[in-house]
Amino acid sequence: MEQLADRILLLLRFQPKRKIEINDLSKKLKAELPNVKAALKILNEWGYKFLQDKNKISFVSAPDILSATEISHQLKTKFTGKVIHSFNTVKSTNDIAHQLADKGAVEGTIVTAEKQTLGKGRLGRSWHSPEKMGIYVSIILRPKFTPDQAPGLSIMSALGVAEAMNEYAPKKVQIKWPNDILINGRKAAGVLTELSAEKNKINYVIAGIGINVKQSQSGFPLNLSGTATSLQQETGKEISRVELLKLVLVNFEKEYLRYRKNQLIKSLPRIRKWSSLLNQEVTLQWNGAAVTGTAVDIDRSGSLIIISKGNRMSVSSGEVTVVKKQ
Protein backbone atom coordinates (compact mmCIF):
# COMPACT_ATOMS: atom_id res chain seq x y z
CA MET A 1 0.00 0.00 0.00
CA GLU A 2 2.90 2.37 0.78
CA GLN A 3 4.27 1.77 -2.71
CA LEU A 4 0.95 2.78 -4.19
CA ALA A 5 1.00 5.90 -2.00
CA ASP A 6 4.45 6.77 -3.42
CA ARG A 7 3.20 6.28 -6.98
CA ILE A 8 0.19 8.54 -6.36
CA LEU A 9 2.57 11.12 -4.94
CA LEU A 10 4.71 11.04 -8.08
CA LEU A 11 1.63 11.82 -10.17
CA LEU A 12 0.27 14.65 -8.03
CA ARG A 13 3.04 16.09 -5.86
CA PHE A 14 4.96 18.16 -8.38
CA GLN A 15 2.07 19.46 -10.46
CA PRO A 16 0.04 21.37 -7.90
CA LYS A 17 -2.49 22.57 -10.45
CA ARG A 18 -3.22 19.14 -11.82
CA LYS A 19 -6.66 17.77 -10.96
CA ILE A 20 -7.24 14.07 -11.52
CA GLU A 21 -10.44 12.09 -11.28
CA ILE A 22 -9.97 9.40 -8.64
CA ASN A 23 -11.28 6.86 -11.16
CA ASP A 24 -8.60 7.93 -13.64
CA LEU A 25 -5.98 7.65 -10.93
CA SER A 26 -7.07 4.10 -10.30
CA LYS A 27 -6.93 3.28 -14.05
CA LYS A 28 -3.55 4.97 -14.54
CA LEU A 29 -2.01 3.12 -11.65
CA LYS A 30 -3.82 -0.12 -12.45
CA ALA A 31 -5.02 -0.25 -8.86
CA GLU A 32 -8.48 -0.97 -7.43
CA LEU A 33 -10.43 2.10 -6.30
CA PRO A 34 -10.58 1.05 -2.63
CA ASN A 35 -6.79 0.61 -2.68
CA VAL A 36 -6.33 4.09 -4.15
CA LYS A 37 -8.52 5.50 -1.39
CA ALA A 38 -6.55 3.58 1.25
CA ALA A 39 -3.27 4.87 -0.22
CA LEU A 40 -4.60 8.44 -0.14
CA LYS A 41 -5.42 7.91 3.52
CA ILE A 42 -1.83 6.84 4.14
CA LEU A 43 -0.59 9.99 2.40
CA ASN A 44 -2.86 12.01 4.70
CA GLU A 45 -1.36 10.26 7.68
CA TRP A 46 2.12 11.18 6.41
CA GLY A 47 0.95 14.80 6.41
CA TYR A 48 0.18 15.37 2.71
CA LYS A 49 -2.87 17.48 2.03
CA PHE A 50 -5.06 17.10 -1.06
CA LEU A 51 -8.11 18.95 -2.23
CA GLN A 52 -11.00 16.74 -3.15
CA ASP A 53 -13.58 18.47 -5.29
CA LYS A 54 -16.38 16.04 -6.16
CA ASN A 55 -14.42 13.20 -7.71
CA LYS A 56 -11.35 15.20 -8.62
CA ILE A 57 -8.27 15.38 -6.50
CA SER A 58 -5.31 17.80 -6.49
CA PHE A 59 -2.21 18.37 -4.40
CA VAL A 60 -2.28 21.11 -1.75
CA SER A 61 0.76 20.80 0.52
CA ALA A 62 3.54 18.50 1.64
CA PRO A 63 4.70 17.79 5.19
CA ASP A 64 8.21 18.71 6.33
CA ILE A 65 9.50 15.14 6.27
CA LEU A 66 12.94 13.91 5.23
CA SER A 67 11.71 11.43 2.65
CA ALA A 68 13.51 10.66 -0.60
CA THR A 69 10.65 12.21 -2.60
CA GLU A 70 10.83 15.52 -0.73
CA ILE A 71 14.64 15.74 -0.57
CA SER A 72 15.25 14.92 -4.22
CA HIS A 73 12.72 17.44 -5.56
CA GLN A 74 14.74 20.20 -7.27
CA LEU A 75 17.90 19.22 -5.39
CA LYS A 76 20.66 21.20 -7.10
CA THR A 77 23.67 18.96 -6.53
CA LYS A 78 25.81 16.98 -8.96
CA PHE A 79 26.08 13.74 -7.01
CA THR A 80 25.30 14.36 -3.34
CA GLY A 81 21.89 12.99 -2.38
CA LYS A 82 21.28 11.40 -5.76
CA VAL A 83 20.86 8.13 -3.86
CA ILE A 84 18.82 8.55 -0.68
CA HIS A 85 18.10 6.03 2.06
CA SER A 86 15.53 7.63 4.36
CA PHE A 87 14.36 6.06 7.59
CA ASN A 88 11.98 6.95 10.34
CA THR A 89 13.95 5.63 13.32
CA VAL A 90 17.51 4.30 13.35
CA LYS A 91 20.17 3.91 16.00
CA SER A 92 22.62 6.08 14.05
CA THR A 93 22.61 7.21 10.41
CA ASN A 94 26.43 6.93 10.45
CA ASP A 95 26.21 3.23 11.30
CA ILE A 96 23.77 2.59 8.44
CA ALA A 97 26.02 4.57 6.10
CA HIS A 98 28.98 2.36 7.10
CA GLN A 99 26.97 -0.75 6.24
CA LEU A 100 25.94 0.69 2.87
CA ALA A 101 29.46 1.87 2.07
CA ASP A 102 30.87 -1.57 2.91
CA LYS A 103 28.43 -2.98 0.35
CA GLY A 104 29.67 -0.54 -2.31
CA ALA A 105 27.28 2.45 -2.08
CA VAL A 106 28.33 5.20 -4.47
CA GLU A 107 29.87 8.51 -3.47
CA GLY A 108 27.23 11.02 -2.46
CA THR A 109 24.76 8.44 -1.14
CA ILE A 110 22.97 9.87 1.88
CA VAL A 111 21.20 8.31 4.84
CA THR A 112 18.60 10.35 6.71
CA ALA A 113 16.41 9.67 9.72
CA GLU A 114 13.60 11.45 11.52
CA LYS A 115 14.91 10.16 14.82
CA GLN A 116 18.06 8.48 16.19
CA THR A 117 17.98 6.36 19.30
CA LEU A 118 21.78 6.15 19.60
CA GLY A 119 22.98 9.22 17.70
CA LYS A 120 26.76 9.44 18.01
CA GLY A 121 29.10 12.31 18.77
CA ARG A 122 32.89 12.06 18.80
CA LEU A 123 34.85 9.92 21.27
CA GLY A 124 31.87 7.80 22.30
CA ARG A 125 29.68 10.79 23.13
CA SER A 126 26.03 10.93 22.12
CA TRP A 127 23.95 13.22 19.89
CA HIS A 128 20.45 14.05 21.15
CA SER A 129 18.20 13.33 18.15
CA PRO A 130 14.50 13.76 18.93
CA GLU A 131 11.89 12.91 16.30
CA LYS A 132 11.29 15.48 13.53
CA MET A 133 13.10 18.19 15.49
CA GLY A 134 16.37 18.09 13.64
CA ILE A 135 18.28 16.90 10.62
CA TYR A 136 20.23 13.68 11.03
CA VAL A 137 22.11 12.86 7.85
CA SER A 138 25.20 10.92 6.83
CA ILE A 139 26.98 11.39 3.51
CA ILE A 140 29.17 8.69 1.98
CA LEU A 141 32.37 10.02 0.36
CA ARG A 142 34.98 8.14 -1.62
CA PRO A 143 37.86 10.58 -1.96
CA LYS A 144 40.90 9.59 -4.01
CA PHE A 145 43.42 11.25 -1.69
CA THR A 146 45.41 9.51 1.04
CA PRO A 147 44.26 9.04 4.67
CA ASP A 148 46.63 11.72 6.00
CA GLN A 149 44.65 14.28 3.99
CA ALA A 150 41.33 13.30 5.58
CA PRO A 151 41.35 15.23 8.91
CA GLY A 152 40.45 18.55 7.24
CA LEU A 153 37.16 17.03 6.02
CA SER A 154 35.68 17.70 9.44
CA ILE A 155 36.07 21.47 9.38
CA MET A 156 35.27 21.47 5.65
CA SER A 157 31.93 19.81 6.47
CA ALA A 158 31.33 22.27 9.30
CA LEU A 159 31.93 25.13 6.83
CA GLY A 160 29.34 23.74 4.39
CA VAL A 161 26.79 23.39 7.19
CA ALA A 162 27.58 26.83 8.67
CA GLU A 163 27.14 28.58 5.33
CA ALA A 164 23.76 26.91 4.81
CA MET A 165 22.64 27.85 8.33
CA ASN A 166 23.87 31.40 7.80
CA GLU A 167 21.19 31.82 5.14
CA TYR A 168 18.63 31.46 7.93
CA ALA A 169 20.47 33.21 10.76
CA PRO A 170 22.74 35.80 9.17
CA LYS A 171 25.68 37.06 11.25
CA LYS A 172 24.87 34.74 14.16
CA VAL A 173 26.61 31.56 13.01
CA GLN A 174 30.13 30.54 14.03
CA ILE A 175 32.28 27.46 13.67
CA LYS A 176 33.92 26.21 16.83
CA TRP A 177 36.94 24.18 15.79
CA PRO A 178 36.92 21.37 14.88
CA ASN A 179 33.30 20.40 14.28
CA ASP A 180 30.69 22.49 16.11
CA ILE A 181 28.39 25.08 14.61
CA LEU A 182 27.21 27.69 17.07
CA ILE A 183 24.41 30.23 16.88
CA ASN A 184 24.70 33.10 19.30
CA GLY A 185 27.39 31.11 21.07
CA ARG A 186 25.36 27.93 21.60
CA LYS A 187 25.77 24.63 19.79
CA ALA A 188 23.17 24.15 17.05
CA ALA A 189 24.92 21.53 14.92
CA GLY A 190 27.78 19.06 15.01
CA VAL A 191 29.73 16.98 12.52
CA LEU A 192 31.15 13.51 13.01
CA THR A 193 33.44 12.30 10.23
CA GLU A 194 34.49 8.67 10.28
CA LEU A 195 37.14 7.13 8.09
CA SER A 196 37.55 3.62 6.73
CA ALA A 197 41.05 3.22 5.37
CA GLU A 198 43.86 0.77 4.88
CA LYS A 199 47.53 1.69 4.59
CA ASN A 200 47.61 4.48 2.02
CA LYS A 201 44.11 4.18 0.70
CA ILE A 202 40.79 5.58 1.87
CA ASN A 203 37.94 3.11 1.39
CA TYR A 204 35.35 5.71 2.29
CA VAL A 205 34.52 8.54 4.65
CA ILE A 206 31.20 9.06 6.40
CA ALA A 207 30.32 12.68 7.11
CA GLY A 208 27.57 12.66 9.75
CA ILE A 209 25.74 15.92 10.33
CA GLY A 210 23.28 16.69 13.11
CA ILE A 211 21.41 20.02 13.11
CA ASN A 212 18.95 21.25 15.73
CA VAL A 213 16.16 22.88 13.76
CA LYS A 214 12.88 22.98 15.65
CA GLN A 215 13.61 22.35 19.33
CA SER A 216 12.38 24.85 21.89
CA GLN A 217 14.69 25.35 24.87
CA SER A 218 12.59 22.96 26.95
CA GLY A 219 13.06 20.34 24.23
CA PHE A 220 16.68 19.78 25.30
CA PRO A 221 17.63 17.52 28.20
CA LEU A 222 18.87 19.32 31.32
CA ASN A 223 22.54 18.63 30.63
CA LEU A 224 22.29 20.52 27.31
CA SER A 225 19.92 23.29 28.30
CA GLY A 226 22.65 25.88 28.89
CA THR A 227 24.76 25.02 25.85
CA ALA A 228 22.47 23.86 23.03
CA THR A 229 20.10 25.76 20.79
CA SER A 230 18.15 25.34 17.56
CA LEU A 231 17.82 27.42 14.40
CA GLN A 232 14.14 28.04 15.00
CA GLN A 233 14.73 29.12 18.58
CA GLU A 234 17.38 31.64 17.54
CA THR A 235 15.56 33.07 14.55
CA GLY A 236 11.95 32.87 15.73
CA LYS A 237 11.09 31.71 12.22
CA GLU A 238 9.42 28.50 11.06
CA ILE A 239 12.14 26.56 9.22
CA SER A 240 11.62 23.74 6.76
CA ARG A 241 14.01 20.89 7.53
CA VAL A 242 13.76 19.64 3.94
CA GLU A 243 14.75 23.01 2.46
CA LEU A 244 17.58 23.42 4.96
CA LEU A 245 18.86 19.90 4.25
CA LYS A 246 18.88 20.60 0.51
CA LEU A 247 20.89 23.76 1.08
CA VAL A 248 23.30 21.88 3.35
CA LEU A 249 23.84 19.25 0.63
CA VAL A 250 24.50 21.92 -2.01
CA ASN A 251 26.98 23.79 0.20
CA PHE A 252 28.60 20.61 1.41
CA GLU A 253 29.19 19.42 -2.15
CA LYS A 254 30.71 22.74 -3.21
CA GLU A 255 33.16 22.63 -0.32
CA TYR A 256 33.97 18.97 -0.94
CA LEU A 257 34.72 19.59 -4.63
CA ARG A 258 37.06 22.43 -3.59
CA TYR A 259 38.67 20.17 -1.01
CA ARG A 260 39.27 17.41 -3.59
CA LYS A 261 41.16 19.91 -5.74
CA ASN A 262 43.01 22.07 -3.24
CA GLN A 263 42.20 20.74 0.21
CA LEU A 264 41.32 23.67 2.47
CA ILE A 265 43.27 26.34 0.58
CA LYS A 266 40.24 27.94 -1.06
CA SER A 267 38.07 27.58 2.06
CA LEU A 268 40.50 28.83 4.71
CA PRO A 269 39.61 32.53 4.52
CA ARG A 270 35.97 31.67 5.18
CA ILE A 271 36.82 29.14 7.90
CA ARG A 272 38.89 31.82 9.63
CA LYS A 273 36.10 34.35 9.22
CA TRP A 274 33.53 32.05 10.81
CA SER A 275 35.78 30.74 13.56
CA SER A 276 34.77 31.43 17.17
CA LEU A 277 38.22 30.61 18.60
CA LEU A 278 40.69 32.78 16.73
CA ASN A 279 42.45 35.42 18.83
CA GLN A 280 40.90 33.97 21.95
CA GLU A 281 42.68 32.58 24.96
CA VAL A 282 41.80 28.91 25.04
CA THR A 283 42.39 25.75 26.99
CA LEU A 284 43.04 22.67 24.94
CA GLN A 285 42.38 19.26 26.43
CA TRP A 286 44.24 16.61 24.60
CA ASN A 287 45.19 13.07 25.56
CA GLY A 288 44.49 13.76 29.22
CA ALA A 289 46.68 16.91 29.32
CA ALA A 290 45.58 20.55 29.32
CA VAL A 291 47.39 23.46 27.64
CA THR A 292 46.41 27.12 27.76
CA GLY A 293 47.37 29.58 25.04
CA THR A 294 46.11 31.85 22.28
CA ALA A 295 44.41 30.31 19.24
CA VAL A 296 46.00 32.20 16.37
CA ASP A 297 45.09 30.32 13.19
CA ILE A 298 43.68 27.28 11.44
CA ASP A 299 46.08 25.91 8.84
CA ARG A 300 45.51 24.31 5.47
CA SER A 301 45.33 20.81 6.95
CA GLY A 302 42.56 21.93 9.34
CA SER A 303 44.81 21.99 12.44
CA LEU A 304 44.35 24.67 15.09
CA ILE A 305 47.48 26.72 15.79
CA ILE A 306 47.92 27.70 19.42
CA ILE A 307 50.72 29.82 20.85
CA SER A 308 51.41 28.76 24.40
CA LYS A 309 54.26 30.28 26.41
CA GLY A 310 55.98 31.34 23.20
CA ASN A 311 55.68 27.88 21.62
CA ARG A 312 53.69 27.38 18.44
CA MET A 313 51.59 24.21 18.55
CA SER A 314 49.66 22.66 15.68
CA VAL A 315 46.74 20.59 16.99
CA SER A 316 44.79 18.19 14.80
CA SER A 317 42.18 17.11 17.36
CA GLY A 318 41.05 17.81 20.91
CA GLU A 319 38.56 19.77 22.99
CA VAL A 320 38.96 23.52 23.18
CA THR A 321 37.24 25.94 25.54
CA VAL A 322 37.55 29.70 25.54
CA VAL A 323 39.15 30.96 28.74
CA LYS A 324 38.78 34.68 28.40
CA LYS A 325 37.32 36.97 25.75
CA GLN A 326 39.74 39.63 24.59
Residues in contact with ligand BT5 by the rule CB under 6 A: 92-94, 116, 119-123, 125-128, 136-138, 179-180, 187, 190-192, 208-210, 212, 224, 228
Which of 141, 148, 152 has its CA nearest to residue 268? 152
Given the DSSP bridges, would you call strands 173-176 and 180-183 parallel, antiparallel or unpaired? Answer: antiparallel
How many angstroms from the chain centroid is the CA of residue 81? 11
Q: What's the closest the beta carbon of residue 188 comes to ligand BT5, in angstroms?
A: 7
With respect to ligand BT5, which residue has the nearer C-beta, 147 or 318? 318
> What three-state secondary structure class fits 289?
strand
With respect to ligand BT5, which residue has the nearer C-beta, 26 or 93? 93
With respect to ligand BT5, which residue has the nearer C-beta, 13 or 128? 128
Q: What's the closest the beta carbon of residue 147 comes to ligand BT5, in angstroms?
A: 20
Rounded distance between C-alpha atoms, residue 262 and residue 256, angstroms: 10
DSSP-assigned letter for residue 178: T
With respect to ligand BT5, which residue has the nearer C-beta, 93 or 267? 93
Q: What's the closest the beta carbon of residue 111 comes to ligand BT5, in angstroms?
A: 8
On whether the CB atoms of residues 270 and 298 are closer than 8 A, the answer is no
Q: Rounded to the nearest 10 degrees, what angle do helices 241-262 and 153-166 cross at?
A: 140
> Which ranges of the chain would DSSP assign to H, the alpha helix?
2-12, 22-28, 33-46, 68-72, 93-102, 153-166, 231-235, 241-262, 268-274
Q: What's the closest the beta carbon of residue 13 comes to ligand BT5, in angstroms?
A: 26
- Which residue is nearest to ligand BT5, using beta carbons? 190
Rounded distance between C-alpha atoms, residue 192 and residue 119, angstroms: 10
With respect to ligand BT5, which residue has the nearer C-beta, 32 or 319? 319
Q: What's the closest the beta carbon of residue 191 comes to ligand BT5, in angstroms?
A: 6
With respect to ligand BT5, which residue has the nearer C-beta, 190 or 302? 190
On whether the CB atoms of residues 113 and 89 are closer than 8 A, the answer is yes
Q: What's the closest the beta carbon of residue 94 comes to ligand BT5, in angstroms?
A: 4
